[in-house]
Structure 1
Amino acid sequence: MPLRFVESVDATRLFYLEALGFESLMGVVGKDGALDFAIVQREGAMLMLSRPEDAGPTRGPLSIYIEVGDVDGYHAELVGRGVAIVEPPTTQWWGDRTFSVADPAGDALYFWQTVADMAPPPGVTLI
């Protein structure tokens, strides 16, 4: 599932919904009332939209989320192969356990597995 960093999640999400006929799966409203993040889908194709963030030098313009059956096992396998891990395994508030590596172009590859129910932190509004 690709993750696109866009200047306006609201405007981009609206384009996908109104112009392209996608459906909204979820959105996270930021402290300023604008969307920080959204997921849209159409016929099984999903796209994540996010405001730009200070991601450091290892992340390129594209991030791809790849579901795996055993995220911790896959992490151990990659460490055993000597692959540099950018972000260690972490259980996220949305219930996915993730870790990331960077490909040679600097794009982020996130490997994930759902391990828990969603538990938004205080102040996070879902739509």
Structure 2
Amino acid sequence: MSDKPASAAVIPLRFVESVDTMREFYLQQLGFDHLMGMVGKDGQLDFAIVQRAGAMLMLSRPQDAAGTLTGHMELFIEVDDVDAYHEQLSKTGLAIVQPPQTQWWGDRNFSVVDPAGHTLWFWKTVAEMQPPPGVTMI
């Protein structure tokens, strides 16, 4: 068995009130690219996919009759250079919730909150894991 985890793609689907608003946030504020979208009968986007550096995110309006949105979500998106991306976003005036820091598990990360209130973490593994005293890893 290899110590290196297998590579796999996970593409989250998020239900949001306004796909248009969320799509614009990802494109304009975070530098994502538009992959595709579907316009609903009312002229607003029903669905869209945005992507950045291999990360993809699907955005959709609620599909049930009640228009129910699901609970809070945090997304972790790997980037090539955490500090460079943080600097790029900071120059746009975007509020950074958690500034860049290197975690004990070896990831350097920072976070922002999107218009729907979900936390987006941008990360890159930069060091070996060094659990704090008293932490048991299995």
TM-score range for the pair, normalised by the shorter chain length:
0.5 to 0.7
Give CA deviations for 1:12-69 in whole Å, capped at 9, x if unaligned: xxxxxxxxxxxxx9xxxxxxxxxxxxxxx998256xxxxxxxxxxxxx7110000000
Distance 1:97 1:43, change over 3 A: closer
Aligned equivalent of 2:85: 74
SS of aligned partner of 2:131? coil
Distance 1:42 1:116, change over 3 A: closer
Q: Do residues 95 (structure 1) and 59 (structure 2) align?
A: no
Aligned sequence identity (%):
60
Unmatched segments (≥5 aa) in structure 2: 11-70
Q: Do residues 105 (structure 1) and 69 (structure 2) align?
A: no
**Number of residue equivalences:** 75
- Relative contact order higher in (CA < 8 Å, ≥ 6 apart): 1
Q: Do residues 44 (structure 1) and 8 (structure 2) align?
A: yes
SS of aligned partner of 1:72? helix
- Aligned Cα RMSD in Å? 2.2
Distance 1:69 1:122, change over 3 A: same
TM-score by length of 2: 0.50
Q: Which has the higher strand share?
A: 1
Unmatched segments (≥5 aa) in structure 1: 1-24, 26-40, 47-59
Aligned equivalent of 1:33: none
Q: Do residues 115 (structure 1) and 121 (structure 2) align?
A: no
Specify the structure having the higher radius of gyration (Cα).
Answer: 2
| Mapping for residues 25-44 of structure 1, pairs under 5 Å | 44=8
C-alpha separation between the residues in 1 aligned to 2:7 and 2:128? Answer: 24
TM-score by length of 1: 0.54
